[in-house]
Structure 1
Amino acid sequence: MSGSSAGSTVPRRQLGRHLRELRTGAGYTIATAAELIQWSPSMLQRVEKGHVDKVRDVDVRELCRIYDAEPDLAEALIGLARQANTEEWWHSYGDLIPENFDVYVGLETVATSLTVYQSELVPGMLQTSDYARTLIRTGYPSGREAEVDRRVQLRIKRQAMLKRPVRPIRYDVVLHEAVLRRLIGSGDIMKAQLKALADASTRPNLNVRIMPFTAGYPTGEPIGSFTILEFGVDGKGNPVEPPVVYLEGFTGDLYADKPLTVRRYRDAYQAIQRAALGDQDSRKAFRDLAKEYV
């Protein structure tokens, strides 16, 4: 086991977060758990904070045994440990980490703000259940209806972060006009989805805007969808955790937390936002576009 390095912090932060949740869920203090695995309390604390760049498989497995973790979760955490020192972390589905272990949702759950540019689809955080169901059923054509229902409910459940009464997540999103004109399901589904976007944009913690086709390429070149996750600041104004850029792919996802990469995507978002319609014009456009679907 060694100290932190220049690699991506995302895998080891997620590993530490899950280990901490397992420990507290099992009712162990730092001191008690450290004694059981024969570490110092400070070492366990550093692992839980993601400050250790290499944790052995055998140690993760033993902690999972102590905490009585499910076998699938234990395997996922071992996979995280093995990838805890990569430069830009590419999470390939089913490679080391089981496919049903959602790394992104784990990050999203603890984020304080999300900055999103979406050029393809309405983001999951803003999808209606019918819009989500259409996508999920298309993506899992052989899936049983109960499994489709489960996936829809999980997606809708995530949206509670936008509506919680205490410290709701800050959500800034720009949708390319193509997202709104791409038919998902039926005209009725699109009409309801556009109305839902208009309604969502009235919430004080949400900023939902449209980048029209007429904006061209405000970044100077094509750019795909991305999300910047931020995790708040401490009493001194420093980030609690480094921000992360998330790029979703068909066979895997990229998590980037190098400062230069994050800065470039922030600059790109600012250019996109400047080219987008204003709040009120976007809201009106959502409602006008909804009328086009019959």
Structure 2
Amino acid sequence: MTGGSTLPKRALGRELRRLRERRGTSQAAAARAIEVSPQTIGRMEDGHASRPTTLQVNGLCDLYQASDEERRFLLDLLRELRVAKQTGGTWWRAFADEIPADFNHFLALEAAASRITSWQVTLLPGLLQTPDYRRALTWSAHPNRSSADIERRIDLATQRQDRLSDNTFHMEVLLSEAVLRHGIGGYGVMADQLLHLLELSELPNISIRVVPFMSRSQLGLIVRSFAYLQFPVPSNTRISEPPVVYVEGYTGSLYLERDPEIAQYAQAIHGIRRVSLDEDESRKLVSGLVKEYQG
């Protein structure tokens, strides 16, 4: 893949389409408003427009009556697109001065994905965390934050979990046994968290499997934690968006989208899945740990 990452461009297109459809505006009307062709609007929404400008994005925001927050989100995406073009290739998104720290591209990807495969070696993925588990982690990472700020973060995480009740969304969770044994928040918090995992594992669109300590392959420890995101095929274009691999870091996040990288992580998923317990065996292991935490 050349010309830098396409991720910000794809996210920009998805958001512009959402705002246009919410307003009930046709592509032709949008095109007239910013003096381009309807085909250009289509390419922009599909993430194929070569150089969307600030003037064009602001004009569409005016037409769609976007809120200040929505406008800022789109302009942040536009800035990310320019940074990605300058860097080229793999996109390492650190929270640098040129990128607003309050903008989280992963949330936009997560909201758009139709399937997420998550491999975790230390902590549970955010979509599966209970508020108390998340609260304990957030306080550890941000001990100087106010209680109100911490609770806002908890509310955001809880809202994200609405995805799990959408049957068109599927999530496969592969967990190292270590994830279940880290005492996040203490015995009571962990017991409740694992009970929550057992409830989620009964949902038809959620699969939770554990890789035990004594598995015959340690590939997952070498690969480390990541999320593999796949996207639905848009009904208007039938052009499938390629998958994205997300690797979270302490000071920044790595987004991978080139074919060789995606293929390597897909192969890693196959290898990790092969040494994991099946869903029933995983439930038995989690149930046993619940009893340990409950004393």
- 1:11-160 alignment runs, 5 A limit: 11-69=8-66, 70=68, 72-85=72-85, 86-160=88-162
CA distance in 2, matches of 1:206, 1:221: 23
Distance 1:154 1:67 in 2: 25
Alpha-carbon separation, structure 1, partners of 2:221 and 2:285: 25
Distance across 2 between alignment mates of 1:84 and 1:24: 28
Partner of 1:8: 5
1:94 is displaced (CA, Å) by 4.4
Output aligned runs, 1:104-253, within 5 Å. Answer: 104-164=106-166, 167-215=167-215, 217-219=217-219, 222-233=222-233, 240-253=240-253
CA deviation profile, 1:150-198 (whole Å, cap 9, x unmatched): 211211221121113xx33111111111111111111000011112112
Q: Structure 1 131/220 Cα, relative in aligned 2: closer, same or farther at 3 Å? A: closer
Preserved CA contact (<8 Å) 1:76 1:101: yes
Q: Distance in 2 between matches of 1:25 and 1:100?
A: 25
Q: CA offset at residue 128 of structure 1?
A: 0.9
Indicate how the Cα distance of structure 1 residues 180 and 242 shifts in structure 2: closer, same or farther if over 3 A, else same: same
Separation in structure 2 between the aligned mates of residue 228 and residue 239 of structure 1, nearest angstrom: 19
Q: Is the 8 A contact 1:54 1:81 kept in 2?
A: no
SS in structure 2 at match of 1:8: coil
Distance 1:204 1:62 in 2: 43
After superposition, what is the alpha-carbon deviation per residue over 1:58-116, rounded to whole angstroms, capped at 9, x for unaligned? 43344334444425324313313313533212222244332222211111112111111
- 1:10 alignment partner AA: L
Maintained 8 Å contact 2:207/2:279? yes
| Whole-Å separation in 2 of the counterparts to 1:93 and 1:35 | 37
Instruction: Give the aligned partner of residue 269 of structure 2.
Output: 269
Q: Which residue of 1 aligns with 2:281?
A: 281
**Cα distance in 1 between the residues matched to 2:224 and 2:266:** 14
Question: TM-score, normalized by length of structure 2?
Answer: 0.88
Q: 1:234 to 1:147 in 2, by over 3 A?
A: closer
Note if contact 1:176-1:213 (Cα within 8 Å) is conserved in structure 2: yes
Query: Does the CA-based 8 Å contact 1:57-1:81 persist in structure 2?
Result: no
Name the amino acid aligned to 2:8: P
- Point out where structure 1 has 5 or more consecutive residues left out of the alignment: none
**More helix per residue: 1 or 2?**
2
Question: How many residues of Structure 1 are paired with residues of Structure 2 in the alignment?
Answer: 287
Contact 2:8/2:77 (<8 A) preserved: no
Give the distance between the partners of 1:221 and 1:13, measured in 2 at CA: 31
Closer/same/farther in 2, CA of residues 60 and 234 from structure 1, 3 Å limit: closer
- CA RMSD, Structure 1 to Structure 2 (Å): 2.3
Q: Check whether the contact 1:131–1:190 (CA below 8 A) recurs between aligned residues.
A: yes
Note the alpha carbon deviations across 1:117-145, whole angstroms, 9 max, x for none: 00110111111111011112222222222
